[in-house]
Amino acid sequence: MNLINLFIHPKKYFTEINEKEKFSLLAPIVILVIIGVLTGLTAGNTVSSMGLPEEQMGSIQGLAIGFGIFSGIIGLAIALVLKTGIFHFVLKKMNGTASFKSAIYVVGISFFPKIFQGIINLLFQKPLDLNTIYEFNIVNFLAGIINIFNIWQIALTIIGLSIIYGVSYRKTAIPVIGFEVVAAGFTLVTTLITANSMAGITPTGIE
Protein backbone atom coordinates (compact mmCIF):
# COMPACT_ATOMS: atom_id res chain seq x y z
CA MET A 1 0.00 0.00 0.00
CA ASN A 2 1.39 3.38 -1.05
CA LEU A 3 1.49 5.41 2.16
CA ILE A 4 2.45 8.50 0.17
CA ASN A 5 -1.18 8.70 -0.92
CA LEU A 6 -2.12 9.19 2.72
CA PHE A 7 -0.36 12.56 2.45
CA ILE A 8 -1.15 13.72 -1.06
CA HIS A 9 -4.35 11.84 -1.90
CA PRO A 10 -6.04 10.36 1.20
CA LYS A 11 -9.26 9.65 -0.69
CA LYS A 12 -7.35 7.41 -3.10
CA TYR A 13 -5.51 5.74 -0.21
CA PHE A 14 -8.65 4.81 1.71
CA THR A 15 -10.48 3.80 -1.46
CA GLU A 16 -7.70 1.36 -2.33
CA ILE A 17 -7.59 -0.28 1.09
CA ASN A 18 -11.38 -0.49 1.14
CA GLU A 19 -11.46 -2.21 -2.26
CA LYS A 20 -8.69 -4.63 -1.29
CA GLU A 21 -10.10 -5.05 2.23
CA LYS A 22 -6.61 -4.82 3.72
CA PHE A 23 -7.10 -3.62 7.27
CA SER A 24 -4.03 -4.86 9.12
CA LEU A 25 -3.84 -3.27 12.56
CA LEU A 26 -0.03 -3.35 12.54
CA ALA A 27 0.32 0.17 11.09
CA PRO A 28 -2.01 1.82 13.66
CA ILE A 29 -0.23 -0.02 16.48
CA VAL A 30 3.18 1.18 15.26
CA ILE A 31 1.85 4.74 15.03
CA LEU A 32 0.52 4.64 18.60
CA VAL A 33 3.82 3.25 19.90
CA ILE A 34 5.84 5.97 18.13
CA ILE A 35 3.58 8.69 19.54
CA GLY A 36 3.88 7.12 22.99
CA VAL A 37 7.68 7.09 22.78
CA LEU A 38 7.72 10.74 21.70
CA THR A 39 5.42 11.57 24.62
CA GLY A 40 7.80 9.86 27.03
CA LEU A 41 10.86 11.61 25.64
CA THR A 42 9.08 14.95 25.90
CA ALA A 43 8.25 14.19 29.53
CA GLY A 44 11.91 13.41 30.13
CA ASN A 45 12.94 16.75 28.63
CA THR A 46 10.41 18.49 30.85
CA VAL A 47 11.98 16.98 33.95
CA SER A 48 15.46 18.01 32.80
CA SER A 49 14.33 21.65 32.69
CA MET A 50 13.13 21.66 36.30
CA GLY A 51 16.56 22.27 37.82
CA LEU A 52 16.60 19.17 40.02
CA PRO A 53 19.79 18.12 41.84
CA GLU A 54 22.18 16.18 39.61
CA GLU A 55 22.03 13.06 41.78
CA GLN A 56 18.24 12.93 41.40
CA MET A 57 17.98 13.97 37.77
CA GLY A 58 18.85 10.65 36.14
CA SER A 59 16.44 8.45 38.06
CA ILE A 60 13.55 10.92 37.96
CA GLN A 61 14.05 11.58 34.27
CA GLY A 62 14.10 7.85 33.58
CA LEU A 63 10.88 7.38 35.51
CA ALA A 64 9.27 10.27 33.65
CA ILE A 65 10.22 8.82 30.28
CA GLY A 66 9.06 5.32 31.19
CA PHE A 67 5.78 6.48 32.67
CA GLY A 68 5.25 8.89 29.78
CA ILE A 69 5.67 6.12 27.21
CA PHE A 70 3.46 3.68 29.12
CA SER A 71 0.68 6.15 29.89
CA GLY A 72 0.91 7.64 26.40
CA ILE A 73 0.41 4.31 24.67
CA ILE A 74 -2.34 3.17 27.05
CA GLY A 75 -4.13 6.52 26.80
CA LEU A 76 -3.98 6.51 23.02
CA ALA A 77 -5.22 2.92 22.86
CA ILE A 78 -8.19 3.76 25.08
CA ALA A 79 -8.95 6.86 23.01
CA LEU A 80 -8.71 4.81 19.81
CA VAL A 81 -11.18 2.17 20.99
CA LEU A 82 -13.55 4.74 22.52
CA LYS A 83 -13.60 6.97 19.44
CA THR A 84 -13.98 4.04 17.08
CA GLY A 85 -16.81 2.58 19.13
CA ILE A 86 -18.74 5.85 19.04
CA PHE A 87 -18.11 6.42 15.34
CA HIS A 88 -19.02 2.83 14.48
CA PHE A 89 -22.27 3.00 16.43
CA VAL A 90 -23.38 6.31 14.90
CA LEU A 91 -22.36 5.48 11.33
CA LYS A 92 -24.07 2.09 11.52
CA LYS A 93 -27.24 3.95 12.48
CA MET A 94 -26.71 5.94 9.28
CA ASN A 95 -26.74 2.65 7.33
CA GLY A 96 -22.96 2.42 7.12
CA THR A 97 -21.57 -0.95 6.07
CA ALA A 98 -18.02 -1.14 7.47
CA SER A 99 -16.74 -3.48 10.16
CA PHE A 100 -15.39 -2.40 13.54
CA LYS A 101 -11.91 -3.65 12.57
CA SER A 102 -11.83 -1.49 9.45
CA ALA A 103 -12.98 1.49 11.51
CA ILE A 104 -10.20 0.85 14.04
CA TYR A 105 -7.72 0.86 11.17
CA VAL A 106 -8.97 4.17 9.76
CA VAL A 107 -9.11 5.96 13.11
CA GLY A 108 -5.71 4.55 14.09
CA ILE A 109 -3.96 5.43 10.83
CA SER A 110 -5.44 8.92 11.11
CA PHE A 111 -3.31 9.49 14.22
CA PHE A 112 -0.33 9.69 11.87
CA PRO A 113 -0.11 13.54 11.90
CA LYS A 114 0.42 13.33 15.65
CA ILE A 115 3.87 11.88 14.98
CA PHE A 116 4.94 15.14 13.36
CA GLN A 117 3.39 17.11 16.20
CA GLY A 118 5.27 14.98 18.72
CA ILE A 119 8.59 15.50 16.93
CA ILE A 120 8.08 19.27 16.82
CA ASN A 121 7.09 19.36 20.49
CA LEU A 122 10.21 17.38 21.37
CA LEU A 123 12.60 19.50 19.31
CA PHE A 124 11.16 22.89 20.21
CA GLN A 125 10.01 22.27 23.75
CA LYS A 126 9.94 25.29 26.04
CA PRO A 127 11.43 25.01 29.56
CA LEU A 128 8.84 24.30 32.24
CA ASP A 129 7.94 27.34 34.34
CA LEU A 130 6.69 26.07 37.69
CA ASN A 131 5.32 29.51 38.53
CA THR A 132 2.83 29.45 35.65
CA ILE A 133 2.23 25.73 35.15
CA TYR A 134 -1.29 25.87 36.62
CA GLU A 135 -2.28 29.23 35.17
CA PHE A 136 -5.02 29.01 32.56
CA ASN A 137 -4.12 30.65 29.25
CA ILE A 138 -6.91 30.69 26.68
CA VAL A 139 -4.48 31.27 23.79
CA ASN A 140 -2.37 28.24 24.71
CA PHE A 141 -5.51 26.19 25.26
CA LEU A 142 -6.94 27.02 21.84
CA ALA A 143 -3.56 26.52 20.18
CA GLY A 144 -3.44 23.03 21.66
CA ILE A 145 -6.82 22.17 20.16
CA ILE A 146 -7.02 24.16 16.93
CA ASN A 147 -3.78 23.38 15.14
CA ILE A 148 -2.80 21.95 11.77
CA PHE A 149 -2.12 18.48 13.17
CA ASN A 150 -5.52 18.11 14.83
CA ILE A 151 -7.28 19.46 11.75
CA TRP A 152 -5.27 17.07 9.57
CA GLN A 153 -6.19 14.14 11.80
CA ILE A 154 -9.88 15.06 11.77
CA ALA A 155 -9.86 15.42 7.98
CA LEU A 156 -8.23 12.01 7.50
CA THR A 157 -10.72 10.41 9.89
CA ILE A 158 -13.72 11.89 8.09
CA ILE A 159 -12.44 10.94 4.64
CA GLY A 160 -11.50 7.40 5.67
CA LEU A 161 -14.69 6.61 7.59
CA SER A 162 -16.86 8.13 4.86
CA ILE A 163 -15.30 5.85 2.25
CA ILE A 164 -15.37 2.58 4.17
CA TYR A 165 -18.88 3.11 5.59
CA GLY A 166 -20.32 4.47 2.36
CA VAL A 167 -21.69 7.53 4.15
CA SER A 168 -21.37 11.12 2.94
CA TYR A 169 -18.63 13.39 4.26
CA ARG A 170 -21.22 15.65 5.85
CA LYS A 171 -22.87 12.85 7.82
CA THR A 172 -19.52 11.34 8.79
CA ALA A 173 -18.36 14.70 10.10
CA ILE A 174 -21.20 14.78 12.65
CA PRO A 175 -19.81 12.14 15.06
CA VAL A 176 -16.16 12.96 14.32
CA ILE A 177 -16.35 16.71 14.91
CA GLY A 178 -18.94 16.22 17.64
CA PHE A 179 -16.54 13.98 19.56
CA GLU A 180 -13.75 16.56 19.26
CA VAL A 181 -16.03 19.34 20.51
CA VAL A 182 -17.10 17.29 23.53
CA ALA A 183 -13.49 16.28 24.24
CA ALA A 184 -12.38 19.92 24.03
CA GLY A 185 -15.15 20.95 26.40
CA PHE A 186 -14.16 18.26 28.89
CA THR A 187 -10.52 19.33 28.68
CA LEU A 188 -11.50 22.97 29.24
CA VAL A 189 -13.55 22.13 32.32
CA THR A 190 -10.85 19.95 33.88
CA THR A 191 -8.18 22.55 33.10
CA LEU A 192 -10.19 25.32 34.75
CA ILE A 193 -10.90 23.16 37.80
CA THR A 194 -7.21 22.32 38.13
CA ALA A 195 -6.17 25.96 37.71
CA ASN A 196 -8.66 27.11 40.34
CA SER A 197 -7.75 24.38 42.81
CA MET A 198 -4.04 25.15 42.48
CA ALA A 199 -4.46 28.93 42.76
CA GLY A 200 -2.16 30.33 45.42
CA ILE A 201 0.13 27.31 45.48
CA THR A 202 3.76 28.02 44.58
CA PRO A 203 6.67 25.65 43.95
CA THR A 204 7.93 26.34 47.48
CA GLY A 205 4.67 26.09 49.34
CA ILE A 206 1.39 27.82 49.99
CA GLU A 207 1.25 31.57 50.15
Q: What is the pLDDT of residues 142-156, one digit of tens each?
A: 767 788 999 999 999
Query: For residue 69, what are the contacts with CB-CB under 8 A and spacing of at least 6?
Result: 36, 37, 39, 40
195 against 166, higher pLDDT: 166
pTM exceeds cut of 0.75: yes
Neighbours of 167 (CB within 10 A): 22
Q: Is the dihedral of CA 92, 98, 167, 115 positive or negative?
A: positive
Please state the domain extents for the chain.
22-206
